Structure 1
């Protein structure tokens, strides 16, 4: 799991900032960075005792599974989920239910990965 160290930006934070200001190469770097990073998935139930119950957030009629890049970022979901599990971003992508997208939250920003991009990543 990624944890902040001092005032140094987290990897996903830095990549998201570059992607917002850049082009396709920066966007690709953000997605690839996410896939390789260990992230935190908030859960409404204890994953040690049963299946993961991810936090789902509706964004413009599309259900997004919430994923955070650190325990600091997951604090925004503590009223929605008492538990969390860590896993690599690629494993999160493989487990997202059809018809859903991802909402990735960092301490300072966030970004979405839509269903089409999730399908493209899974097909690689």
Structure 2
């Protein structure tokens, strides 16, 4: 997982960020339904914008909406092309789990995506 923001975002100009810095700006975070309630995974900011897809979160961050914690495979190209910047924070050193929802009948697209993630994670050791 990577803590990222747009290069134009004020957090990107700081040599390191802390909880107070993150709390000042909008966090773009993952949102899901749990027990018929909408739950957002905002970490440090009461000011957040929730989406249900990591890709939408990434695009919002690239557009300067806020900062986010995103899976490295999803932001790798944007980091390499300077569309995103990694933020220097202790949070970047913590482990985070990938999650996905699976049904009994995986479609062609879901199977291809799961295989692609598995290959990426297998090659990045």
State if a TM-score over 0.5 links the two structures. Answer: no
TM-score, normalising length: structure 2: 0.29
TM-score (norm 1): 0.29
Q: Give the structure, 1 or 2, with the largest relative contact order (CA under 8 Å, sep 6 or more).
A: 2
Greater Cα radius of gyration, structure 1 or 2: 2
- Judging by fraction of residues, say which structure has more strand: 1
